[in-house]
Amino acid sequence: GEDVEQSLFLSVREGDSSVINCTYTDSSSTYLYWYKQEPGAGLQLLTYIFSNMDMKQDQRLTVLLNKKDKHLSLRIADTQTGDSAIYFCADLAFNTDKLIFGTGTRLQVFP
């Protein structure tokens, strides 16, 4: 079945850029999503990208999609301590209502 993979941890210094990577196997993906989970809270949709786009920018967030390699990344510019959270990549396959989540990447921002 479809699979979405992420590295488990990322540690960055405050003010630096963070890049969280994700790979997926589903070649029929229509949309790919990034969700953020703050400590003790549920997931919150951060941003998403349509599968025919290469890049999407939203303030400090930049999503890059390499459809050929099935690789998605989320770049957070000027990372702040408030960005410390778990970030989930998720894949929505064509004509389905099933969202496949990755394992999540825990981002730790240190001063």
Partner 1 sequence: EAQVTQNPRYLITVTGKKLTVTCSQNMNHEYMSWYRQDPGLGLRQIYYSMNVEVTDKGDVPEGYKVSRKEKRNFPLILESPSPNQTSLYFCASSSRLAGAGKQYFGPGTRLTVT
31 burial level (CB within 10 Å; 0-12, 13-18, 19+):
middle
Q: Which secondary structure element, helix H or strand E, spans residue 100, and what is its range? A: strand 99-101
Tokens of 16: 């630096």
Which of 41, 68 has the CB closer to partner 1? 41
Residue 8 near partner 1 by CB under 8 A: yes
Residue 20 near partner 1 by CB under 8 A: no
Residue 69 near partner 1 by CB under 8 A: no
Q: Which of 43, 46, 61, 64 binds partner 1 (CB under 8 A)?
A: 43
Residue 101 near partner 1 by CB under 8 A: yes
Residue 39 near partner 1 by CB under 8 A: no
80 three-state secondary structure: coil
If you search the block for the tokens 């989540």, which residue do you land on? Answer: 101
Rounded to whole angstroms, the Cα distance separating 30 from 15 reads 33
Which of 12, 48 has the CB closer to partner 1? 48
Contact residues toward partner 1 (CB under 8 A) are 4, 8, 31, 33, 40-45, 48, 88, 90, 92, 96-99, 101-104
